[in-house]
Amino acid sequence: MSSNGATDARTLRSRLNHPVIDADGHWLEYAPVMREEFRRIGGDAAAEAFALASQRVPNALKMSLPERRRRRVAQEAFWGSPCENVLDRATAMLPRLMYERLDDLGIDFCVVYPTAGLGYHRMPDTRLRRAICRAYNVFTAEQFRPFADRIIPAAIIPMYTPEEAIEELEFASRQLGYKVMMVGGLMRRPIPALAEEHPDVSKFVEWYDVVGIDSDHDYDPVWQKCRELRVAPSFHNGARSILLRNSPSNFCYNHIGHFASAGHAVAKALFFGGVTRRFPDLNFAFLEGGVGWACMLYADLIGHWDKRNRQALEKTNPANLERARLLEFARKYGSEAVAEAVGRGDGLEGDSNSTLTGGLEDLDDYFRCKIGRKEDIRDLFVPRFYFGCEADDPVNAWAFKREANPMGARLNALFSSDIGHFDVPDMAAVVPEAYELVEHGLITDGDFRDFMFTNAVRFWGEVNPDFFKGTVVEKAAAEVLRHGA
């Protein structure tokens, strides 16, 4: 393999006046070892869950294309890990090698998320889900404990109920020492009416709980526990192979945009659910989807509030329609048939003119957020949400363009290397690739500092000022938190 990337990354890092924090790297858990360790840690339930989880993708790939079409099973990823670049493959597998190579990669400190474990916390069976999450967290903590000054892993937190989330948060934080928690945000739930009326088919049709709004559960105790444990929750949700990303023949069709779609759904739910209003000192991260969707969501929240706040709704309230005047216009400009229909009131109670509101007690969709002016949306969204961005995405620059975002906002983009996965063919090229935004004039060196360092410090450090203690970036991070920049 070429060594140019490693040299460039080292050289670039030596020129920077700030550390580089990777907010979302990945390791490749080695299945044969994991299988045995899960049995040791979690017993038969963990072993059974591991076997079940390990078969989902292979089962889809064993099917022929006609069979996947017949069953509407999505084409899954194949050849998804580094192979030609053996050093990178070994780096993703072996924590000690990753630790030794960080300087070659131009990275000072790295937070590592799962690969196989990305979906464990969404297994529908409670017994298996609880067992595999606990086994994974114990196993991963053991693997990375010797390297905590430069690499720390994320725990996986099941969220099917607040109670199980709180229990695992407590265990992972207090017993295992985790400081990074990956919480679930798209849980598959049965549809009650189908379960009652058509139990034989209900298991094939589900809805997705986005935890912030319209859930049967109150997740505020989870956010309160995160606050108590000084944890900034991060979401690494995906929406691949479901709904509009369910091609049986094309993996890229299923993959493109799926992290953004999942992040959009959960961030929107947390905002509309008033979570950032009730927990104004808690930060949330949405990883690997980039920041373009977040810029659009931020602008859309403001645009919709302008048109749909409670006062603005009076412009479309059917009670405010002057029917006599409308009839005058119909008689003057419409056909005889139209005038007669308007005179009878035909159509004025249907479609968009209906007086129905769906039984809502409060017609303001923003009532949980208590929005009194559009600046409130900025204040509840921009400081609290962070967005994981891969190095090769030019749209990352949008986050820093005050002139492009409403009210001059800068969104919190986090450098997320995604090392260990197929979209990083050369780990040593990631940091130089991120710097191309500066070289191409899309962002400034100050923006780059925020992207690669400051925003990560703020995301974790604002919630836990001791987050970086004992790490190689402790002094630089403390300086950011002390001065707020």
pLDDT tens, residue by residue, 413-438: 999 999 999 999 999 999 999 999 99
C-alpha distances in Å from residue 72, one per residue of 53, 239, 242, 253, 477? 19, 16, 10, 14, 49
Residue 3 has pLDDT above 50, yes or no: no
Which position has the higher pLDDT, 134 or 344? 134
For 81-92, b where at least 16 C-beta lie within 10 A, e where not — what string? ebeebebbeebb
DSSP 123: -
Distance CA 341, CA 337 (A): 6
C-alpha distances in Å from residue 318, one per residue of 61, 77, 357, 367, 412? 54, 51, 11, 21, 41
Helix (H, G, I), strand (E, B) or coil at 188: strand
> How confident is the model at residue 134, as a pLDDT?
97
Residue 5 has pLDDT above 90, yes or no: no
Q: Give how far the C-alpha of residue 203 lies from the chain's centroid of Cα atoms, to the nearest Å.
A: 26
Domains of the chain are: 4-307+380-483 (3.20.20.140), 313-353 (no CATH)
Q: 144-153, 199-208, 272-281, 450-459 — which is least confidently predicted?
A: 199-208
Token readout for 352 is: 């968009």
Pairing outcome for strands 187-190 and 206-209: antiparallel
Residue 8 has pLDDT above 80, yes or no: yes
> How confident is the model at residue 353, as a pLDDT?
56
Distance CA 384, CA 455 (A): 11
The beta-carbon contacts of 11-19 under 8 Å, at least 24 apart in sequence, are: 12/106, 12/431, 12/432, 12/435, 13/103, 13/106, 13/107, 13/108, 13/431, 16/449, 16/452, 17/449, 18/449, 18/452, 18/453, 18/454, 18/476, 19/108, 19/109, 19/453, 19/472, 19/473, 19/476, 19/477
Residue that the structure tokens 């989807």 belong to? 289
Distance CA 425, CA 88 (A): 8
Q: What share of the chain is helix, strand, coil (3-state, %, to 5)?
A: 55, 10, 35
Distance CA 389, CA 368 (A): 29
Distance CA 407, CA 301 (A): 13
Residue 364 has pLDDT above 60, yes or no: yes
Q: 21-30, 334-343, 437-446 — which is least confidently predicted?
A: 334-343
pTM, full prediction:
0.95
> How confident is the model at residue 351, as a pLDDT?
54
Per DSSP, helices labelled H in 248-335 are 251-255, 258-272, 275-278, 292-308, 323-333
> How confident is the model at residue 58, as a pLDDT?
80
What tens digit of pLDDT does each residue of 321-348 get?
899 999 999 999 999 999 999 998 877 6
Residue 228 has pLDDT above 60, yes or no: yes
**Phi/psi of residue 438, nearest 5 degrees:** -75, -45
Pairing outcome for strands 187-190 and 151-157: unpaired
Q: What share of the chain has pLDDT > 90, as a percent?
A: 87
DSSP 187: E
Contacts for 241 with CB less than 8 Å, ≥ 6 apart: 74, 76, 254
Mean pLDDT of the chain: 94
The closest alpha carbon to 213, from 105, 96, 351, 368, belongs to 368
Residue 187 has pLDDT above 50, yes or no: yes
CB atoms within 10 A of CB 330: 18
Residues shown for the chain: 485
What tens digit of pLDDT does each residue of 288-302 get?
999 999 999 999 999
> How confident is the model at residue 330, as a pLDDT?
94
Residue 202 has pLDDT above 90, yes or no: no
Residue 258 has pLDDT above 80, yes or no: yes
> How confident is the model at residue 356, as a pLDDT?
84
